[in-house]
Structure 1
Amino acid sequence: MSNTHAPRSAAPRRPDTRRRQVRGRVPGAKRTRPEPPAPETWAQRFRHYAPAAVLPLAVLALAVVAVCFGTILIGGWRLAYLPAAIGQTWLTLNAAPLRIDGVDLGAVPLLPAVGIVALVASRIRAATRRRVSVLDLAAILGLIVLTSLTLSGIALFMVSDASNVFAVAPPHPAAALLAPLGLHLAGFIFGIRPVVWRALARRVAVPPVVVESAHAAWQLVRDLLWAALAVYVLFLVLGQARVSEIGAAYPPLHWSGLLALAALTIAYLPNAAVATLSVLLGGSVDYAGASLSLFDATAVALPPLPIFAAVPPAVPAWAPALMLVPAAIAVRFVLTRDFTLISVAATATWAAIIGIILGLYASGTAGAYGVIGPDLWTLALLLFAWAGVCGLAAWLVALVRGRGEGAAAETGESGGED
């Protein structure tokens, strides 16, 4: 049989010895993503930095709306309470005073405020991790200020509108707008890296000692606050008997009530740290028309909150020895830095400014108990004195040591010549 119609077998292909060059497949090479072009116009800057400056506050506002809405639904209350709850919650979280049923509360818990500062600072630091210009920083600052004033203004309007129906009253407009703005500006300041602040200072012809001393003063105050918080927690643990007495002042509480008291105590820990710092530095804390210091205490009825269980009924004789705690922090601080007279004065001044800000946020009225917290001017003066005296002592020691080393070197040179 013929095979004329059988298909022919395909001829074998010659292997292609040519190799295509595959880009990005070099062993050991990392693929780098090209950096986006730097914004050049104001519109581009606002669009580029809006996620970092606007988004954190917007997300926080949406979270407040969701929590208030969920709480009202779970509690079975009327939705008419929602605007007042949203506005008051936003202002309280941002350390603004509140007034409910004729009771003023200016000493609000500061732990949420600390969290807001940390949130804003983290987003700003992520947005400025690459090279930024002065105009970029101005755009970020403008976005933060505009967003803060807008959200706080809306919250103030909600509370003001609800005050016609419910037993709430809006705080002073300046406090309602400036207290949140101060927190958001603090987040901006902490979010910018020190190297950027130094470059900005050179750009605007500000002496570098201004930036360096501000950073040093904050490190000193930060370490003092951590030490003060540790001392406060120690006294709170030692005052467990007073915690039980304070708990007995309430009707029988379920687990939800106990959890609320514990959460409120934790939320007031930053306030307690600032108050304890004022006491450790030699100042006092005002509460219920009385005061507490390392040298004297007035026995008065305290607010029924576990946070006050750390206040002893009487000051022990060894209490002034607690001033050794900030002294140790200050000595450690000055031993790790070189000071000049200008840097000592600048560091002490910045420490006093930080003390004023801490005193503003950590003190306020608490209904019938009056003003509770440290006096901001006393705290500022004490921080100025401690930073100034310790820095001056370190400068004098370095000066005397430098002169002694110089005299020894001259003596050695004269002896070598002989």
Structure 2
Amino acid sequence: MAEARFSHDQFRCPVCLDLLKDPVTIPCGHSYCMSCIKQCWNQEDQRRDYSCPECRQTFRPRPALKKSTMLAEVVEKMKITECKTAVPAGPGDVKCDVCTGRKHKAIKSCLVCLNSFCQNHLEQHENLFKGKRHDLMDATRYLQKMICSKHKKLLDIFCRSDQSCICMLCMVDKHKNHDTVSTVAERTEKQKHLGDTQRKYQQQIKKRKKKLSELKEAVKIHKHSAQTAVEDSERIFDKLIRFIKGRRSEVTQMIRDQEKTVVSQAEALMKQLEKEIDQMRSINDELEQLSQTHNHIHFLQSYLSLPVPPGSPDVPKITERSFDKVGKSVSRLRQELEDFCTEDIEKLSGRENCHNSLVSEVGYLEGFLPDPREDMTDYGLCSFSPTLHKSSGRGPEGLH
């Protein structure tokens, strides 16, 4: 019941802002952690005047300190209640620097005290320094990086000569006579350049999206053209099945190989562009977060390591060449074969002679279709350019 009637604030040490540990009450009535008040009075030993950090009442001689058992019991209950209600810090959270034992999630960082505070300790911080200007910012895990390792001061100056963040003492020491400005001023200047860099990334993303769209459309057209060529070739080869059944599959395979080569190359390019777009989006998101951060020091330190935006993508075009040459070549072959066979059949006087003549002519048919090993470079990435071997007389010359 006693716990419900009092606020946690009444049982916090004014020095460390945490719940009292080994509480003692000094003559003026204020209570402190025994270690905190001892540390304060040890610093006053030379003056031999011992004062209360809260009300500044002085005592002489140094009062004897004795642990308050009843107050310690109440504080212990307060700690149990606070542990149940406070938000514990997770793996990615900034931890409160004041909490003892299990750390709670910090919500603000003080640039004067150089500490991060959870909700409970932030209230104590504000009450303790009421009327005093303490700059607060959203809790950041970069707080230690914002402090000068040598002077333990805030890095609120930017040295343009050395391109680094420094503190006030560094400015009058190692960086004397250097070109220095405040981090706020340098942030304002760098923010403009960051905007230009971000726009370049956005432009490159748009260009890659356009190239990706063009490649997809080119592949679609190429597939359609290849399918049409295959169907035309199949239809023509059906009429010549008795003569060129074996060669039909070779021509079909050549077309499919060409399609596969072009499509596989285009798909590899598309995959690369998609990967680059994802990477650039990720970098652009980081740039967006960096552009909105209120932490000037983190901004400047991160800005110095920004990657250089890439140039325009070098993507070869897929030439929109059709497979008309394949169809025309096979059509000419069919017509020449029909004319050739018709002429031979009319000259034959008997059925047996006609059969023997056709059998002998089948050997010549191989020369009318191109060798699948011939060069196929007339079409974009890979092409098929058949030619018909014409000759005077009954059959092709030079085919063997």
Per the normalisation by structure 2, the TM-score is: 0.19
Larger radius of gyration: 2
Per the normalisation by structure 1, the TM-score is: 0.19
Query: Relative to total residues, which structure has the larger helix share, 1 or 2?
Result: 1
